[in-house]
Structure 1
Amino acid sequence: MPWIVLLLISLLSAPLHAATIPGVTTSAPPASDSKTEPSEPDLAQKKAAYAALADVLANDTSREELIEQLRQVAATPPPEPVPTLTPPPAEDDKTVLENVTTVGRYYGEQLSSRFAQLYRNITGSPHKAFNPHTFTNALTHFLMLAGMVFAFYGVIRIAALPLYRKMGRWGRKKNREHGNWLQLPGMIIGAFIIDLLLLALALFVGQILIDNFNSGSQTIAFQQSLFLSAFALIEFFKAVLRLIFCPRVPELRPFSISDESARYWNLRLSALSSLIGYGLIVAVPIISNQVNVQFGAMANVIIMLIITLWALYLIFHNKQRIAEDLLHLAERSLSFFSLFIRAFALVWHWLATAYFIVLFFFSLFDPGNSLKFMMSATVRSLAIIGLAAFASGILSRWIAKRITLSAQTQRNYPELQKRLNGWLSTVLKAARILVVCVAIMLLLSAWGLFDFWNWLHNGAGEKTVDILIRIALILFFSAVGWTVLASLIENRLSSDIHGRPLPSARTRTLLTLFRNALAVVISTITIMIVLSEIGVNIAPLLAGAGALGLAVSFGSQTLVKDIITGIFIQFENGMNTGDLVTIGPLTGTVERMSIRSVGVRQDTGAYHIIPWSSITTFANFVRGIGSVVANYDVDRHEDADKANQALKDAVSELMEMPDIRALVIGEPSFAGIVGLTNTAFTLRVSFTTQPLKQWTVRFALDSQVKKHFDRADVRAPVQTWQILPPPGTAMQQPGGVAPQPPAEPTL
């Protein structure tokens, strides 16, 4: 009976409205606010419902059925909520001009609010009664402390001055003797450390004076502490200035600056720092505390305005002179530093102007922390630049040096020294660039423009360092592999002091080609791995390279044919560098063999480049042996035995010559008469010689044959002419007797 459940639910929901039974899911909320809720039942409907429920409960069967249905409803799990899809909020894409306008408006509002706050500090601060007696007492103790601290610090610095001069002279002497170039920088840094120790001693004495000369007044002690804090900060900055300019001890001056310029800038920058420090850290807080907050704010503005105007005057008054000094310094510096110094000479005045303008605004809006921030950023910047310059200088000096291997190693590995020096120079240059990049990031971090340490330990910085380390390892192992393999090949191409002969021309050619192919393979693999490490998907590159290779192979079939033919000729040991060959109509010496062509030099000096694919047949005169086949013509009327004996005597004398006998392999072969004409017969003798020595043997044989034929009176054949009279005439002598032929043939 489902109607019983519906009746019960309607009965219970009538007086309770939104009440629910535990374990029973409620109905879904209305889809929208536009739907009307069901109206409450009236009294008659409630009475009818009560009566129906009473009838159900009075009947045992219906009551049991109602209980069972209620249990089933309680055991039914609630339906899963349907997730609602919320579209992402629409973001308006702003143009670059709108972004610039937004940023400018934001910083403009911040700047205007700061100026408004400054105006309220000057005009609306509460007034404070001025007590002349308290002010005079505090000022007296303040001046006493300042005088004693300045006097003590001045005395100990004057006492340390002879030590500084002695250190400077000793460092300069060692630098001139070129004993160790680190000694002079060591003395400069040592003098700076001594200066800091003297400052620490003065601060210790000042703290003792504060504890004993404050008249038991917390206000006086506080003002004296302000002075000691400003004294520590300002004197530390002056110590840095003395490290740079060193006006009293020129021997410890790290830069080539004249004494006049050093004193000029040290005096003015020290005065600026004193005015800034004692004005903002000491004078402004004391005026605000002892006189009035308004007067303190006005004093802050006036002091910073005077300092800024004075600084700008010094900057633009000395702009040209400092630029010229920087350019002269660049000419005397290493090429690496010269570039940075020349760039700094062009923009130094703008950087200095921006520095003092930023200091001016910072001191107006936050006079308590601005100076500390600027001084801290300045000192950190100078330290970063100094350390980066020192590290770069050391790397530059190491780059100029060269590794020298032993003579034995250079003979066995001719290119190893050059290759090691090249790798070392490349690594040091990369390290120098890395030093510059890290220094730039640290400078930005020092001025609050970039959080270097957070970047280094999180996100992109950690990933970048990891990628750089991976790339460095890949390049390192590639360089080591190439150096080892190339050195082994070059060792095989060279001879040694123990008399190991040079490899054959074929071996040299194949090893050279293998070395070049190895360089291409290692370079290609290294580039691909490096690209994959930096996040470049190399799959399209490989696919593109395959397609490009296929297109190139179809478009350059002659080149492919040249390469394949050259490879087979090399493996068949057809020719090598230094061989005498005949290729078509050309005969010359092979000077160069590449994977595409061969270079042949003729005896006339002409150099020919012949592609491998154009070579169908060729002759190589340097393959095992040489051969001499000498033919000598003798007059027909000469005795053949006499001519043969003369030839044998000439050959015998030739074979007795040691330099010629060493070139002949075996014994000569006499063929006897190998030709007969109406005027001469031909004698032949043959030799087997060393490769390319056949011409030497032939020239020497011709000389001996000429000498022995002349000695034996063996005549060479002569050519005769028969003179015939013209047709119809008879050639007769005056007596009517015909002329007789001469006894000997005439030419």
Structure 2
Amino acid sequence: MPYILLFLLALISAPLHAVTIPGVTSTTSDTTASEPDAAQKKAAYSALADVLENDASRKELIEQLRHAAATPPPEAAPTLTPPDVKEEKTVLENVTDITRHYGGEFSTRFAQLWRNISTAPHKPFHTATFFNAVTHFLMLAALVFAFYGLVRLCALPLYRKMGRWGRHKNRDRSNWLQLPAMITGALIIDLLLLALTLFIGQLLSDNLNGGNSTIAFQQSLFLNAFALIEFFKALLRLIFCPRVPDLRPFAITDQTAHYWNLRLSALSSLIGYGLVVAVPIISNQVNVQAGAMANVVIMLTITLWALYLIFHNKKAITDGLLQVADRSLAFFSLFIRAFALVWHWLASAYFIVLFFFSLFDPGNSLKFMMGASVKSLAIMGIAAFISGILSRWIAKTITLSPETQRNYPELQKRLNGWLSGALKTARTLVVCVAVMLLLSAWGLFDFWSWLHQGTGEKTVDVLIRIALILFFSAVGWTVLASLIENRLASDIHGRPLPSARTRTLLTLFRNALAVVISTITVMILLSEIGVNIAPLLAGAGALGLAISFGAQTLVKDIITGVFIQFENGMNTGDLVTIGPLTGTVERMSIRSVGVRQDTGAYHIIPWSSITTFANFVRGIGSVVANYDVDRHEETEKANQALKDAVDELMQMEDIRGLIIGEPSFAGIVGLTNTAFTLRVTFTTLPLKQWSVRFALDSMVKKHFDLAGVRPPVQTYQVLPAPANTAPPDAGLPPAEPTL
């Protein structure tokens, strides 16, 4: 029975070998079993029916099928694929590859040019066709030039009126935008006239070509060249404006404007009509060799003439640029001076590149150079306009109301500083974007592709994150610092200034806050630009530990000073005694206190060296006055004289205001062989005890003299020598009398 089941399974699974899984390549060998015939299939079906009919065999078949289904398929052996090995080249190899690539390109282009000149097939020259096409071409050109000159001549009075009005408004300085608006309006009118002329030219071309494709082709070449060249001439008129000096945006003399407008217009006409019109017509009507030779001659002439104009006028243009730099803002002056040093090399490179491009690709070289030039002028103009607006905003300042300035003394300065920094950063970004767009305009850098790729997107994302971090840090610091400064300042309602202790603590807190915000901001910025700050934090911790061991005294100074400030131990202006020094506190920092003695000496005392100190300005002052009286004087008389002196003192208004309460008489507080001591005490305002004591001493002296109260007298008793001894110097007084 098992053999019959295996035979049946083989027959059932045989068709499955022919099934292929999509995407998986199946391999078959030559020894694969062939398809069973009809007799074998019938025998198998009959055996299967017998098996299913028997309960025991059917159960055994089911168990075998379940066992086959539960058995996992054999695992395929993993395939190890070695990683791709990238060949890393050195800098010299990269430079060599780039040089070889561009050298091969140049050699290929020159070879193609030489083949065009030497081996290009000749075409038959049809004189009648050529002159017929030239006649229609010249007719269209004459009509187009006549119409364009006529409409521009009709618009000339409008240009002059616009120039006078804009210049008058500019002199009055009523609105600085009106003159630039008139200059831009003149350019727009000029371009509209050009568009009208092209429309008329296209209508004339449709009526003058006579259905001839050659004539239509030549006339289309002319209209394309006319549009390109006249657009460039419109830009030249925008810069030089030889006929309407009032619309001239730069301070250029009429002679200089006519000189450069004439020569640059002629140069552009020669380039445009030579490359776009003459060379294709000669190549089509005569032959390719003549067209290639004409192209070389035209471009060589243009290049040599352009180089002559550049170096012939180098000094004059450089001096003019330096004069413009002297009259410009500092930001633009730097760029203009840099441009004045290299402008002739840039202009020479421009015409040399145009020369080679025109040799290799006469049809597209001029379009590319003109397009790149127009894009460059537009980019530089827009960048200069935006930078000029930002520079004007930088020069302006925000002025807050007097009430706000009094409540927040540093807020106006801080806002102007943040605004100036933000505008300068924006101006720098404008310059960077303008440089990248200029490189993109000349095909040296694909700005838009870079902006939409990973590097550009990441750079922009990082810049936005940095800007947001700096913005929120600046806002947080400005708000917190302004609140602290508001607490340190007096308000408009005459709120008194805070105490010296409060000022010191708030100043320390502001400085600590500045350090914390700056540190956190720098760490976040470093993390955003991809710097791993974990080693920096670990290094800072180790460095802080080392510094803490080496600067224990400094840490002790700081901690002691903070606690003394919190306990309100002393403030600026207090009279204190610190150790042997007594003086006025002039300065308190986080590390030390500065004390000025009455002799003028200034002492800097570290907080950690202060163990005890006395402050004479805490609450009240006290005067304890002791006066010695001769022992033989009457006690009542001396007490009465002292009371009279105190009564007169209390009647003095300026002194009475310094005394708190009433004086206290203690009577006799001391007794010696020669004197007894009387005491009177006063409670005074802080730091006023000396004023009261000086006034009291004057009154006591006055009343003691009036009452005849004598101070103690020092007496001496001289004892004679014994009678039985007669010293040699008995006639002289003793050198040291005995008391």
Q: TM-score range by the shorter chain?
A: 0.7 to 0.9
* Residue 377 of structure 1, aligned match among 352, 372, 382: 372
* Residue 130 of structure 1, aligned match among 108, 121, 125: 125
Q: What CA distance in whole angstroms lies between the structure 1 residues aligned with 2:393 and 2:333? A: 17
More off after superposition, 619-628 vs 543-552: 543-552
* Residue 259 of structure 2, aligned match among 264, 268, 272: 264
More off after superposition, 79-88 vs 313-322: 79-88
Distance apart, 1:245 and its partner CA: 2.3
> Relative to 1, partners in 2 of residues 1:253 and 1:636: Cα closer, same or farther, differing over 3 Å?
farther
Q: What CA distance in whole angstroms lies between the structure 2 residues aligned with 1:535 and 1:597? A: 41
The amino acid of 1:469's aligned partner reads I
* Residue 333 of structure 1, aligned match among 323, 328, 351: 328
Q: What CA distance in whole angstroms lies between the structure 1 residues aligned with 2:325 and 2:719? A: 100
> Relative to 1, partners in 2 of residues 1:3 and 1:642: Cα closer, same or farther, differing over 3 Å?
same
The amino acid of 2:614's aligned partner reads A
- Could you say which residue in structure 2 is the equivalent of 1:211? 206
> Relative to 1, partners in 2 of residues 1:332 and 1:125: Cα closer, same or farther, differing over 3 Å?
same
Residue 607 (1) aligns with residue 602 (2): yes
* Residue 245 of structure 1, aligned match among 209, 222, 240: 240
Q: What CA distance in whole angstroms lies between the structure 1 residues aligned with 2:305 and 2:207? A: 39
Distance apart, 1:3 and its partner CA: 13
* Residue 350 of structure 1, aligned match among 342, 345, 351: 345
Q: What CA distance in whole angstroms lies between the structure 1 residues aligned with 2:251 and 2:606? A: 63
Distance apart, 1:216 and its partner CA: 3.4
- TM-score, with length taken from structure 1: 0.86
Residue 520 (1) aligns with residue 515 (2): yes
> Relative to 1, partners in 2 of residues 1:272 and 1:674: Cα closer, same or farther, differing over 3 Å?
same
More off after superposition, 120-129 vs 659-668: 120-129
Structure 2 counterpart SS, 1:360: helix
The amino acid of 1:219's aligned partner reads T
Conserved in 2, the CA contact under 8 Å of 1:188 and 1:254? yes
Residue 399 (1) aligns with residue 402 (2): no
> Relative to 1, partners in 2 of residues 1:582 and 1:167: Cα closer, same or farther, differing over 3 Å?
farther
Q: What CA distance in whole angstroms lies between the structure 2 residues aligned with 1:710 and 1:161? A: 111
- Could you say which residue in structure 1 is the equivalent of 2:454? 459
* Residue 281 of structure 1, aligned match among 255, 276, 279: 276
Distance apart, 1:184 and its partner CA: 2.4
More off after superposition, 295-304 vs 146-155: 146-155
Residue 657 (1) aligns with residue 652 (2): yes
* Superposition pairs of residues 94-109 of structure 1, within 5 angstroms: 94-109=89-104
Q: What CA distance in whole angstroms lies between the structure 2 residues aligned with 1:2 and 1:98? A: 73
Residue 390 (1) aligns with residue 385 (2): yes
> Relative to 1, partners in 2 of residues 1:170 and 1:674: Cα closer, same or farther, differing over 3 Å?
farther
Distance apart, 1:85 and its partner CA: 2.6
Conserved in 2, the CA contact under 8 Å of 1:384 and 1:442? yes
Q: What CA distance in whole angstroms lies between the structure 1 residues aligned with 2:399 and 2:540? A: 41
Structure 2 counterpart SS, 1:402: coil
* Superposition pairs of residues 436-585 of structure 1, within 5 angstroms: 436-585=431-580
Q: What CA distance in whole angstroms lies between the structure 2 residues aligned with 1:207 and 1:724? A: 148
The CA deviation string for residues 555-588 of structure 1, in whole angstroms up to 9 with x for no partner, is 2211221122112212211112221211122222
Conserved in 2, the CA contact under 8 Å of 1:725 and 1:731? no
Structure 1 counterpart SS, 2:670: strand
Q: What CA distance in whole angstroms lies between the structure 2 residues aligned with 1:272 and 1:525? A: 60
The amino acid of 2:467's aligned partner reads A
Conserved in 2, the CA contact under 8 Å of 1:665 and 1:690? yes
More off after superposition, 414-423 vs 585-594: 585-594
Distance apart, 1:431 and its partner CA: 0.7
> Relative to 1, partners in 2 of residues 1:281 and 1:2: Cα closer, same or farther, differing over 3 Å?
farther
> Relative to 1, partners in 2 of residues 1:710 and 1:84: Cα closer, same or farther, differing over 3 Å?
same
- Could you say which residue in structure 1 is the equivalent of 2:141? 146
Structure 2 counterpart SS, 1:368: helix
The CA deviation string for residues 431-458 of structure 1, in whole angstroms up to 9 with x for no partner, is 1111111111111111112221222223
- Could you say which residue in structure 2 is the equivalent of 1:170? 165
The CA deviation string for residues 612-665 of structure 1, in whole angstroms up to 9 with x for no partner, is 111111111111111112223334444443333332222222222222222111
Residue 432 (1) aligns with residue 446 (2): no
More off after superposition, 550-559 vs 375-384: 550-559
- Could you say which residue in structure 2 is the equivalent of 1:631? 626
The amino acid of 2:607's aligned partner reads W
Q: What CA distance in whole angstroms lies between the structure 2 residues aligned with 1:290 and 1:194? A: 38
> Relative to 1, partners in 2 of residues 1:400 and 1:725: Cα closer, same or farther, differing over 3 Å?
farther
Q: What CA distance in whole angstroms lies between the structure 2 residues aligned with 1:107 and 1:417? A: 58
Q: What CA distance in whole angstroms lies between the structure 2 residues aligned with 1:240 and 1:122? A: 36
Q: What CA distance in whole angstroms lies between the structure 2 residues aligned with 1:194 and 1:685? A: 103
- Could you say which residue in structure 1 is the equivalent of 2:36? none
The CA deviation string for residues 151-181 of structure 1, in whole angstroms up to 9 with x for no partner, is 2222332333333333333333333333232
Distance apart, 1:594 and its partner CA: 2.1
Distance apart, 1:123 and its partner CA: 2.3
RMSD: 3.7
More off after superposition, 699-708 vs 517-526: 699-708
Distance apart, 1:299 and its partner CA: 0.9
* Residue 225 of structure 1, aligned match among 220, 225, 242: 220
> Relative to 1, partners in 2 of residues 1:157 and 1:722: Cα closer, same or farther, differing over 3 Å?
farther
Percent identity between the two aligned chains: 80
The CA deviation string for residues 485-519 of structure 1, in whole angstroms up to 9 with x for no partner, is 11111111111232211112211111111111111
More off after superposition, 267-276 vs 584-593: 584-593
The CA deviation string for residues 103-133 of structure 1, in whole angstroms up to 9 with x for no partner, is 1111111111111111222223232222222
Question: Which 5+ residue runs of structure 2 have no aligned equivalent?
Answer: 5-12, 20-28, 32-39, 52-56, 733-739
Q: What CA distance in whole angstroms lies between the structure 1 residues aligned with 2:144 and 2:366? A: 22
> Relative to 1, partners in 2 of residues 1:717 and 1:187: Cα closer, same or farther, differing over 3 Å?
farther
Structure 2 counterpart SS, 1:430: helix
More off after superposition, 529-538 vs 399-408: 529-538
Residue 709 (1) aligns with residue 673 (2): no
Structure 2 counterpart SS, 1:328: helix
- TM-score, with length taken from structure 2: 0.87
Distance apart, 1:552 and its partner CA: 1.7
Q: What CA distance in whole angstroms lies between the structure 2 residues aligned with 1:613 and 1:253? A: 74
- Could you say which residue in structure 1 is the equivalent of 2:192? 197
The amino acid of 2:109's aligned partner reads R
Conserved in 2, the CA contact under 8 Å of 1:510 and 1:570? yes
The CA deviation string for residues 694-729 of structure 1, in whole angstroms up to 9 with x for no partner, is 122222223333333344444444555667889757
Conserved in 2, the CA contact under 8 Å of 1:25 and 1:78? no
